[in-house]
Amino acid sequence: MSAGTSLVETNGLGISFGGVHAVNGVDFKLADGELRCLIGPNGAGKSTFFKLLTGQYRPTRGSITIRGHAIDGMESYEIARLGVGIKTQVPSVFNGLTVEENIWLSARRIGTRTEAKDVVAHILDMTRLQSLARSTVGTLSHGQRQWVELGLVIATRPALVLLDEPAAGMSDGEVERTAELIKDINRQCALIVVEHDMAFIRMIAKTVTVFNRGSVLVEDTVGRVLADERVRDVYLGKELEVRQA
Amino acid sequence: MSKHIPLVATLVLGLAAIFVLPAFVEAFTLMELMVYVIMSILALSLGFVWGYGGILCFGQSAFFGLGAYTYAIAAINFGESTAAVGLAIAVPALFALALGYFTFFGRISDVYFGVITLTVTLILFNLVNSTAGEQYRIGSAPLGGFNGIPSIPTLNIPGMPDRVLDPQSLFIVCVILLMLVYLGLRWLLSSHFGRVVVAIRENEKRADLLGYDSRKYKLVTFAIGGGIAGLAGCLFANWGAFTSPTVFSLAQSAQVIIWIIVGGYGTLLGPVVGCFLVQWLTSYAGTLSAINPSLLLGAVLIAFVLLLPRGLVPLLQTAFVRWYPRLLSIKRQPDKAEARDALDRIPLAGTEP
Amino acid sequence: MDYAAVIGIEVLNAIATLLLTSIGLAIVFGMMRVINLAHGEFIMIGGYAAITATSAGINIWISMLIVAPLVVGAVGAVVERCVIRHLYGRMVDTMLATWGLSLLLVGAVTLIFGNTTVGLSSPLGSFAIGGYQVSSYTAFIGAVAIGVTVGLYALLKGTRFGLIARGVMQNPQMAAALGVSPPRIYSVTFTLGAALAGLAGGVLAPITGVVPTIGVAYVAKSFITVIGGGASVLAGTLSASGLFGTVNQLASFATTPVIGEVALLMVAVVLVRLLPQGITGRFFRGRL
């Protein structure tokens, strides 16, 4: 990719539900191979932004370009085929199938049977789920299911991986493992990671974008963002509003 | 070894049915068995579409009826059965393709899809039922309305319109076709296409997000189901050399669903077992004047939905697995509150050791 | 001119009939997201209740307007307790179980009453518009339809039960947190829906006569009216009945009654395809 061409670019992106502007004029750029963290208080529009990027929602204004293609009007599966993978806020996997079958379905979409076999083995190794390969996903713990979903997402070798709260509900040990996994994934894919856990963000982030009320508040390096008064206000302010109500 | 058991069992049972039964069983019973076999093909069509594809079609009888009527009209017009059979499969499949396109590409939800299929079957029933009268004919075949179409030319040896199959031969053809459909669906489900279809049933959104166009997969699944149901309809028209609008009835659709729930949702053997069992039960109940078949069927359906939602075959499989774990390489199914998660553990092609 | 008036009356009659036969299902679907495929049989039982009560000597109006709803309401209460309650949240399983129920009820009624059509003579005469005779009973049906609509509106907007019911409809968990017992509300709601079906059956018995299989004719049309109407119980059923009833009647006049039925069904299929949330998913949103 030539310098200056972003992997993802949105211009004035917006979507409204009734009178609520869930995403309100977002200009966003992500470079090839970049790892970006997306933070913001609840209801800031982060998950909605992801849904717009994956075609689950259609924007009411603005545009999205991924890998040079304008994705306006594309179905979710078409956007996925462009090289976009998403791990959703609520784990979305094939609960009735085994871990192996889950990853196989993903790997097989882009490769032959022999290729898929190798990819499955590699990902089971990467996520350290080999011992659970034949287990039905529905029986796994929440943390394990998140890793299965991670494996599922990267098996199609996407250029862009969207992670919506990958460390949610995990123990400290699991959180560290997830951070390692994400850095591992970053060697081959660009990532946008939505998270609330600031310690986790510090483990993985370089650039952080802060959303508030559907638009970008601040975009800077980790250190500067977390020290920014406005960012703290926005998180704390939200809490104060609730208490007064 | 263990994965070949279904194949071997099917061949053994099928061959027994073909060679042993006609010799030992009287003609009347053979005719009864034949209709069970034909209905099993219909059961498999919905067992595939619903049990594996997750598409609950309340109007599978629409394709069954289209198959029966297409065969009747084509056979009467052509005077030869071979092309008629082909059409009897193609017409319902195309109709399913059209209906599927209309619904799946409109992202209609499951419940509303059920309404639409129920309504379509009603429309067909109403239309065909009202075609009594000489003016309603296709070619040289009168549609007959509620009277139906009598004297349908039955299957003949391809190319020889005068050599019509006798009942024993017709029975053998039906058994062979049932075996082919069963084995064919097993093969399809072990292929990549089949795995994706099941995945879409598990989680359609995730399948889309991985890059699979779930609409197309559901469309093809639905069309295949329609074609198989059409084949059953064609054979049914042959069985009685007669067809009437009841093939399109809601009652017929309900029966197919009951067979699958009783026999085994999410398996291929289940629909066949359920079909044989419920059909036999219905005809037995018909001989007892005290019990009304409708009442019995209704009670059975309610009981199964409440108590045994996955049906008999998975229950037997689980029990079998508990006692003979080495014979089948089947994992114990974890107990789940959600009833519709059963999966027939067909080995994943390409991943076996 | 007279002919136009007659057609107009017939259209209104079709709408009223469709409304009456669908409103019970709409309440149950709108409030509980339950698709009761035995709804047609509830209507059928209402008809039988009215006819049986009348032949036992009870005044025909009381049989139709009081006995029928009470009987079917009781049946509904039992059904809810024994079957529906165990399947909450499982929409497909509820459809299947109620389909089984419909078979069971048809069988049971056939055993008790036999297979032949039983009739009830239309209690009102007819009146003339120009050279055409119109049955006065159609006015009665219209009146009942209006009465039911107004009554339900009053119930849902004006009473405490209505308020609670609307709350449960919007957010069952919240209602439970406020001390309301959703299962009790569901039980009452299902009974109400059944009673309304019984009322429809009773009121329509003089027109069509009853036979055990008459439910089949009603269930699909009611089903599709409810789905076509969308989430709003009253606005949805009213608008869908209006649309489908009109299409049905006009098509019947133009061609044959069978084509009229087919036309209704086809319009419904197209509507559901274009408006997957029903009419009130797009128009009249938020109305009751």
**CA angle in degrees (0–180, nearest 5) for C203-C206-C209:** 110
DSSP string, A173-242: HHHHHHHHHHHHHTTTSEEEEE---HHHHHHH-SEEEEEETTEEEEEEEHHHHHH-HHHHHHHHHHHHHH
What are A139-151's pLDDT values in tens digits?
998 888 999 999 9
Top pLDDT among C32 and A93 is at A93
**C-alpha distance from B123 to closest chain C C-alpha (Å):** 5
**CA angle in degrees (0–180, nearest 5) for B26-B32-B34:** 100
Confidence band, pLDDT 50/70/90 cuts, at residue C241 = very high
Taking CB atoms and an 8 Å limit, are A92 and B209 in contact across chains? Answer: yes
Nearest to C272 among B116, B123, B257 (CB): B116
In this prediction, residue B344 carries a pLDDT of: 34
User: Nearest Cα to C18, choosing from C185, C233, C223, C260?
Assistant: C223
How large a percentage of chain C has pLDDT more than 90?
37
**C-alpha distance from B183 to closest chain A C-alpha (Å):** 22
In this prediction, residue B143 carries a pLDDT of: 87
Element housing A21 (H / E): strand A20-30
In this prediction, residue A34 carries a pLDDT of: 92
What are B281-303's pLDDT values in tens digits?
888 877 877 778 888 888 989 99
Average pLDDT, chain C: 87
Mean pLDDT of B262-274: 92
| pLDDT surpasses 90 at C35 | no
Nearest to C269 among B120, B293, B298 (CB): B120
Nearest to B203 among A76, A92, A104 (CB): A92
| pLDDT surpasses 90 at A18 | no
Enumerate residues 204 to 223 of chain B having a beta carbon within 8 A of any beta carbon in chain A: 205-214
Determine the residue of chain A that is closest to B333 in CA distance.
A136
Query: Which residues does chain A have within 8 Å of residue B350's beta carbon, measured at their own beta carbons?
Result: 113, 116-117
Among A158-172, B103-117, C55-69, C102-116, whose mean pLDDT is lowest?
B103-117
**CA angle in degrees (0–180, nearest 5) for C113-C117-C120:** 100
**C-alpha distance from B258 to closest chain A C-alpha (Å):** 24
Phi and psi at B148, nearest 5°, equal 85, -175
Residue B123 near chain C (CB below 8 Å): yes
**Cβ-proximal residues to A213 (8 Å cutoff; 6+ apart), any chain:** A21, A24, A43, A44, A45
At A157 the three-state DSSP class reads coil
Residue B309 near chain C (CB below 8 Å): yes
What are B296-340's pLDDT values in tens digits?
888 989 999 999 888 898 888 888 777 766 555 544 444 443 334
In this prediction, residue B351 carries a pLDDT of: 34
Confidence band, pLDDT 50/70/90 cuts, at residue C287 = low
In this prediction, residue A148 carries a pLDDT of: 94
Phi and psi at A15, nearest 5°, equal -145, 135
Q: Could you tell me if A194 and A46 are in contact, meaning their C-beta atoms sit under 8 angstroms apart?
A: yes
CB pairs under 8 A between B and C: 117
Top pLDDT among B132 and C288 is at B132
Q: Is residue C227 part of a domain?
A: no
Q: What is the homologous superfamily of the domain A8-244 according to CATH?
A: P-loop containing nucleotide triphosphate hydrolases (3.40.50.300)
Q: Is residue C222 part of a domain?
A: no
Phi and psi at C132, nearest 5°, equal -105, 145
Q: How many residues does chain B have?
A: 353
Residue C273 near chain B (CB below 8 Å): yes
Residue B166 near chain A (CB below 8 Å): no
At C227 the three-state DSSP class reads helix
| pLDDT surpasses 80 at C51 | yes
Most confident of A77-81, B19-23, C50-54: A77-81
Element housing A145 (H / E): helix A142-154
Mean pLDDT of A87-112: 93
Taking CB atoms and an 8 Å limit, are A94 and B348 in contact across chains? Answer: no
Q: Could you tell me if B263 and B313 are in contact, meaning their C-beta atoms sit under 8 angstroms apart?
A: yes
User: Nearest Cα to B105, choosing from A5, A119, C276?
Assistant: C276
Top pLDDT among C261 and B233 is at B233
Nearest to B208 among A76, A134, A136 (CB): A76
Q: Could you tell me if C288 and C153 are in contact, meaning their C-beta atoms sit under 8 angstroms apart?
A: yes
In this prediction, residue A239 carries a pLDDT of: 44
| pLDDT surpasses 80 at C132 | no
Nearest to B202 among A95, A106, A116 (CB): A95
Nearest to C223 among B103, B115, B306 (CB): B115
Among A1-5, B222-226, C67-71, C122-126, whose mean pLDDT is lowest?
A1-5
Q: Judging by DSSP bridges, how do beta strands A20-30 and A8-17 pair with one another?
A: antiparallel
Q: At what angle do helices C182-208 and C160-170 cross, to 10 degrees?
A: 110
What are A167-218's pLDDT values in tens digits?
888 888 888 889 999 999 999 999 999 998 888 888 888 899 999 888 998 8
String of b and e for A178-194 (b: at least 16 CB within 10 Å)?
bbebbeebbeebbbbbb
Q: At what angle do helices C68-82 and C182-208 cross, to 10 degrees?
A: 140
Confidence band, pLDDT 50/70/90 cuts, at residue B210 = very high
Mean pLDDT of A17-40: 90
In this prediction, residue B352 carries a pLDDT of: 32
Mean pLDDT of C49-68: 89
CB atoms inside a 10 Å sphere around CB B30: 16
Question: What is the residue range of C176's domain?
Answer: 2-215
**Cβ-proximal residues to C220 (8 Å cutoff; 6+ apart), any chain:** B118, B119, B122, B250, C265
Average pLDDT, chain B: 85
The pTM of the full predicted model, rounded to 2 decimals, is 0.88
Q: Is residue C275 part of a domain?
A: no
Q: Could you tell me if B236 and B68 are in contact, meaning their C-beta atoms sit under 8 angstroms apart?
A: yes
Handedness of CA A141, A142, A147, A151 (dihedral sign): positive
Average pLDDT, chain A: 88
The count of domains in chain C is: 1
Beta bridge partners of A14: A24, A61
- Which position has the token pair 């009322």? C199
How large a percentage of chain C has pLDDT more than 70?
95
Q: How many residues does chain A have?
A: 245
Is B333 exposed, middle or buried (CB count within 10 Å of its CB: 0-12, 13-18, 19+)?
Answer: middle
Taking CB atoms and an 8 Å limit, are C107 and B110 in contact across chains? Answer: no
Beta bridge partners of B164: B156
Q: Is residue C61 part of a domain?
A: yes
In this prediction, residue B326 carries a pLDDT of: 58
Most confident of A66-70, B89-93, B285-289, C119-123: B89-93
Mean pLDDT of C47-51: 93
Taking CB atoms and an 8 Å limit, are C224 and B300 in contact across chains? Answer: no
Distance from CA of residue A60 to its chain's centroid? 22
Q: Could you tell me if A30 and A10 are in contact, meaning their C-beta atoms sit under 8 angstroms apart?
A: no
In this prediction, residue B335 carries a pLDDT of: 41
CB atoms inside a 10 Å sphere around CB B135: 8
Determine the residue of chain B that is closest to C92 in CA distance.
B111
